[in-house]
Chain A
């Protein structure tokens, strides 16, 4: 970032990097707050309601109030829980969600890491959150939690496979797992990967939506069937961290999708007078809006449809996409 990554290690650089990471954390938290507000507003408008409009002008402080409320809630740890696992499960679930953001390059100069295995890093670290969910459900020692936890894990592992397969087409086309190289390949060729890798994009969009446990794939929480899934017994800020994880992953996954399929910070139609970070943010917000839109539009699927769709639908399609890309590449079309 700004040339610091190329320099030899020094405590000054370390401090700058640490401060930059803290700044990013604050940006992510701010994003989460207003993403929740925006989501409620958007869904409200789509359902001809007003959404939150009481706390502050246009309800802008609604989420702030919610967070404060969660902070001053009593923290109940039921008697029958496995205390140690119950306490660390939210941390195991949250930490990877923030760690994956380190791999995302935001602009030409604004990136936090430059590792050769960026994509694999994302896939590997994000899979650790599943363990947190499983442990949270199990440690609660509650029928709803365990059931919800097991369902979540079954869903997330099923959609993890098509998710990490869907970007193989891009890896084939660029010959690199480095996310900066992938963006540069798109800028150099002038074609965003959403066009040549359209099948991969669709698979990624669906599998990513399912990984986020968002509607139409929100069975784990299914509030009218499992009351809240794996975090029934959690209260106060521990509960908040499970929710936070979901929204931080929304941030991470949308950013990854922009990087992989929408050309990252690349300006379309030569509109380079708009700064790259703004382009990144615009594409990013478009995808975030899509997720909220999907939530307001689609009904929840049934669990048997969900599982069969992953194994009988998405995985064969993702494998087909990989082979198709390889064949087209051998023929010299890509």
Chain B
């Protein structure tokens, strides 16, 4: 299946280059766009894993909503983000080391986990399965998610209102 390998390669490349650009670009709005590219690549990978629901949720929430939210967030700040980044040598070395450590840890985790080798059929309609599982086995986390959303909403309103009164 060379087509699948090619598609995997392209999506993985999108996800990684998005991340790399995100770190290296200097204007915030370019960063937002490149993280959007990264999200899109991940969505493509989900599609290849037959997780369509997850893939389009990824596009809807991350590539659509979160990207726009971040872009709007940057527009609220005055354009004071274009300055030269200070060069910190030790900082860079430490970041590199911790990145290597995290990578090694993840690889170790991947290699030591025993993955089920039997390919399980995910079925034609895995949204239904997601729904059944979510609403029968994970009721409490689901309800907690609503509280989390409520807290995020109220918190943002409180912060923004305080900001607005200062003006």
- Residues of the B chain whose Cβ atoms lie less than 8 Å from the Cβ of A138: 29, 71, 75
- Asked if B29 and A123 sit within 8 Å, CB to CB, the answer is no
A-B pair count, CB < 8 Å, reads 67
B12 CB to closest chain A CB, in angstroms? 20
The answer, yes or no, to whether A153 is at the interface (CB within 8 Å) is: yes
Looking at the complex, which one of A9, A127, A176, A177 makes contact with B60 (CB distance below 8 Å)?
A127
Q: From DSSP, what is the main secondary structure of chain B's interface residues?
A: helix
- Asked if A124 and B64 sit within 8 Å, CB to CB, the answer is yes
Considering the chains assembled together, what is the distance between the CA atoms of A153 and B65 in angstroms? 11
Instruction: Contacts A116-B52, A125-B59 given; indicate if A85 touches B75 (C-beta within 8 A).
Output: no
Considering the chains assembled together, what is the distance between the CA atoms of A150 and B27 in angstroms? 18
The answer, yes or no, to whether A128 is at the interface (CB within 8 Å) is: yes
- Asked if A131 and B128 sit within 8 Å, CB to CB, the answer is no
- Residues of the A chain whose Cβ atoms lie less than 8 Å from the Cβ of B151: none
- Asked if A127 and B36 sit within 8 Å, CB to CB, the answer is no
Instruction: Contacts A120-B57, A124-B56, A124-B64 given; indicate if A153 touches B33 (C-beta within 8 A).
Output: no
The answer, yes or no, to whether A134 is at the interface (CB within 8 Å) is: yes
- Asked if A135 and B33 sit within 8 Å, CB to CB, the answer is yes
Considering the chains assembled together, what is the distance between the CA atoms of A150 and B73 in angstroms? 12
- Closest residue of chain B to A150 (Cβ to Cβ) is B75
Query: Which parts of A85-118 form the interface with B (CB within 8 Å)?
Result: 85, 115-117
Considering the chains assembled together, what is the distance between the CA atoms of A131 and B71 in angstroms? 9
Considering the chains assembled together, what is the distance between the CA atoms of A125 and B75 in angstroms? 24
- Closest residue of chain B to A130 (Cβ to Cβ) is B68
Query: Which parts of A128-168 form the interface with B (CB within 8 Å)?
Result: 128, 130-131, 134-135, 138, 146, 150, 153, 157, 164
- Asked if A135 and B29 sit within 8 Å, CB to CB, the answer is yes
- Residues of the B chain whose Cβ atoms lie less than 8 Å from the Cβ of A313: none
The answer, yes or no, to whether A121 is at the interface (CB within 8 Å) is: yes
- Residues of the B chain whose Cβ atoms lie less than 8 Å from the Cβ of A120: 53, 56-57, 60
- Asked if B68 and A157 sit within 8 Å, CB to CB, the answer is yes
The answer, yes or no, to whether B63 is at the interface (CB within 8 Å) is: yes
- Asked if B59 and A128 sit within 8 Å, CB to CB, the answer is yes
Instruction: Contacts A135-B29, A175-B128 given; indicate if A124 touches B59 (C-beta within 8 A).
Output: yes
A115 CB to closest chain B CB, in angstroms? 6
Looking at the complex, which one of A85, A127, A131 makes contact with B30 (CB distance below 8 Å)?
A85
- Asked if A128 and B63 sit within 8 Å, CB to CB, the answer is yes
- Closest residue of chain A to B1 (Cβ to Cβ) is A9
The answer, yes or no, to whether B124 is at the interface (CB within 8 Å) is: yes
The answer, yes or no, to whether B80 is at the interface (CB within 8 Å) is: no
- Residues of the A chain whose Cβ atoms lie less than 8 Å from the Cβ of B128: 175
- Residues of the B chain whose Cβ atoms lie less than 8 Å from the Cβ of A9: 3
- Closest residue of chain B to A146 (Cβ to Cβ) is B75
- Closest residue of chain B to A138 (Cβ to Cβ) is B29
- Residues of the A chain whose Cβ atoms lie less than 8 Å from the Cβ of B92: none
- Residues of the A chain whose Cβ atoms lie less than 8 Å from the Cβ of B49: none
Instruction: Contacts A117-B52, A138-B29 given; indicate if A176 touches B125 (C-beta within 8 A).
Output: yes
Query: Which parts of B40-55 form the interface with A (CB within 8 Å)?
Result: 52-53
Instruction: Contacts A124-B59, A127-B60 given; indicate if A117 touches B53 (C-beta within 8 A).
Output: yes
Considering the chains assembled together, what is the distance between the CA atoms of A176 and B125 in angstroms? 9
- Residues of the A chain whose Cβ atoms lie less than 8 Å from the Cβ of B23: none
Type the 1/0 row for A55-88, where 1 means its CB is closer than 8 Å to any CB of B: 0000000000000000000000000001001000
Considering the chains assembled together, what is the distance between the CA atoms of A164 and B61 in angstroms? 12
- Residues of the B chain whose Cβ atoms lie less than 8 Å from the Cβ of A121: 56
Instruction: Contacts A116-B52, A175-B128 given; indicate if A124 touches B57 (C-beta within 8 A).
Output: yes
Considering the chains assembled together, what is the distance between the CA atoms of A149 and B30 in angstroms? 17
Looking at the complex, which one of A82, A85, A127 makes contact with B65 (CB distance below 8 Å)?
A127
Considering the chains assembled together, what is the distance between the CA atoms of A297 and B41 in angstroms? 44
Considering the chains assembled together, what is the distance between the CA atoms of A134 and B67 in angstroms? 11
15 contacts between A and B (CB under 8 A): A85-B29, A116-B124, A116-B125, A116-B126, A116-B127, A117-B127, A120-B60, A124-B64, A127-B64, A131-B67, A131-B71, A135-B29, A153-B68, A157-B68, A177-B127
Spell out B's residues near A (CB within 8 Å). 3, 27, 29-30, 33, 36, 52-53, 56-57, 59-60, 63-65, 67-68, 71-72, 75, 124-128
